[in-house]
Amino acid sequence: MNAQESTSTRPYLIRALYEWCTDNGLTPYVAVRVDDSVQVPREYVKDGEIVLNISFDATSSLQLGNDFIEFKARFGGKPREILVPVGRVIAIYARENGQGMAFPPPVDNLLGGGAATTTTVLAQVVAPSEAEPSATAPVTEDRVVQLVASDEGKKDDGGDAPRPPPASGGARPSLKRVK
């Protein structure tokens, strides 16, 4: 097997960071770019993305496979089966401190709908004033991104899905690309 035929590193990195979070008493979250291949409650999807708590306490029958992340969870008290293709995961991080890893987002019907590269990028927490609106643009080369705090998720206009409260009163992290 040569380098072009090898499997993606993404599922292995997701499992490693999940284990790191649980070993350190942190809550692992995954950010997912939603399309028709993702099985999640659509009412909780915002701007084509959803953030899922994949901790032991929030899920049952969790399987972090090479192709899919599968588990059962309750949303609004209703049990749901969740199925996320690993290629749709754009980040895995600890809720409490934002440490984790971001991946290049999948290309959605751009350039013929081809798959994004499996190159990974590291993430770290930075000040909210450094946020940049172009952070969700597709990444086609190696870049470092940073998770930044955002007060955007704190609005309660009744239209958003309920989100768990931040662990220490901090804001929800978001991604920033650093060139």
Domain of 39: which CATH number? 2.30.30.220
Tokens 């930044």 belong to 148
List % helix, strand, coil for the chain (3-state, nearest 5). Answer: 20, 35, 45
C-alpha closest to that of 124 among 104, 159, 148? 148
Which residue did the predictor score with more confidence, 53 or 4?
53
Range 15-22, long-range pairs (CB < 8 A, 24+ positions): 15/64, 17/92, 17/93, 17/100, 17/101, 18/54, 18/64, 18/92, 21/55, 21/94, 21/100, 22/55, 22/56
Count Cβ atoms below 10 Å from residue 125 Cβ, excluding itself: 16
pLDDT at 121: 43
Q: Each residue of 87-138: pLDDT tens digit?
A: 999 999 999 999 999 999 887 654 444 443 333 344 443 333 333 333 333 4
Domain tally, the chain: 1
Given a cut of 70, whether residue 48 has pLDDT beyond it is yes
pLDDT at 105: 84
Q: In what order do the strands lie in the sheet with 100-102?
A: 49-53, 28-33, 89-94, 100-102, 121-123
Q: How far is CA 41 from the centre of its chain?
A: 16
Q: Which range marks the domain in which residue 45 is found? A: 3-178
pTM (two decimals): 0.61
Q: Each residue of 6-43: pLDDT tens digit?
A: 888 999 999 999 999 999 999 999 999 999 999 999 99
